[in-house]
A = this chain, B = another copy of it.
Amino acid sequence: MRHLYSLRLIEAVARAGSMRRAAEDANITASALNRRIRRFEAEFGAELFERLPGGVRLNPAGELLLQHYRATQSDLARVQGQVADLSGERRGHVSLACSQALLPYFLPEQIAAYRADHPGVTFSVKVRDRAEAEAELASYASDLALVFEPIYLVDFEVIETVPQPVHAIMAADHPLAAKVELRLRDCLDGPHVAPAARYGVRHLLDFAARRGARRVAPIVETESFELIRHYVLHERAVGFQIPIGLRDTRDGTLVFRPIAERDVPVGNLFLGQMRGRALPVASARFARRLAAALKALPEPPAG
């Protein structure tokens, strides 16, 4: 939409940190860009940037305006989606930020099921930890977020929440695999593999360990849940994960067992959006569906 061109340029400048670089990105000359911005500032009634020797940076007024631009843009996209909808096109796009646990099973299934009904809808999926996912929502870069454990932002509006007790995962021939439920100390006493500190599972583990005067001391600490799942098959170690990202492997080599609730508190998976925002039709429908699927989630079998 061309009437937002100036605002788009302002965003580009804010991102690039310099008018000349932004001009290059936007395929116009720096002088044209400069003048557009000066003109806009005059009309708006306030400067938007701090002019520094090495470039420019948004000042508070600019931050405010940029926020407005993003909200406007998102609302316009929603309107266009609704219009397309009422002309029967059923097109649209869903953008979503989620944590890694959703990647192997839950999200692929949900997206595929949704696209079976609405083949015109496309998706973008970003993998973000909790803090990043909330930033995604706040900047309107994603419509939805699906993250594990605590929510920081007040602007995060919870659509649905589902409990996910932390599970220990291990090779099928691991001694602990014989038990139905594990104690935390059983897991921490032996070699273990854990996600990095910023992940929700680790957060719960650290909290629980501290309470029990123990320490999470992983032999491998990683940001990749997939690495954890595969590593425990190689060394006699225990990993930690939430059940939504776990399934019985076909060959039965990987097993998972819940950790006693009295040791590690049950965490929650949150589906949320930016507070007060009217989502595009496609995203709103998908969110409703996700919420239903989360609510219908079976108690995970201790496979």
Contact = CB atoms under 8 A, between A and B. Distances in A.
Interface of A: 1-7, 40, 43-46, 60-61, 64-65, 67-68, 71-72, 75-76, 79-80, 82-84, 86-87, 276, 278
Contact of A82 (B1, B7, B64): B64
Contacts of A6: 3
B61 A86 contact: yes
Contact of A2 (B43, B71, B79): B43
- Quickly give the copy total for this chain: 2
A61 B83 contact: yes
The dominant DSSP class at the A interface is helix
A6 to B, nearest CB: 6
Contacts of A40: 3
A58 to B, nearest CB: 12
Given A71-B75, A72-B72, A75-B72, A80 B45 contact: yes
Contact of A76 (B68, B80, B87): B68
Contacts of A1: 43-44
Those 7 A-B pairs whose CB atoms lie nearest each other, nearest first: A61-B83, A276-B276, A68-B79, A46-B83, A3-B3, A64-B79, A72-B72
30 contacts: A1-B43, A2-B43, A3-B3, A3-B6, A3-B7, A3-B40, A44-B80, A45-B80, A45-B84, A46-B83, A46-B84, A60-B83, A60-B86, A61-B83, A61-B86, A61-B87, A64-B79, A64-B82, A64-B83, A65-B79, A65-B83, A67-B79, A68-B76, A68-B79, A71-B75, A72-B72, A72-B75, A72-B76, A276-B276, A276-B278
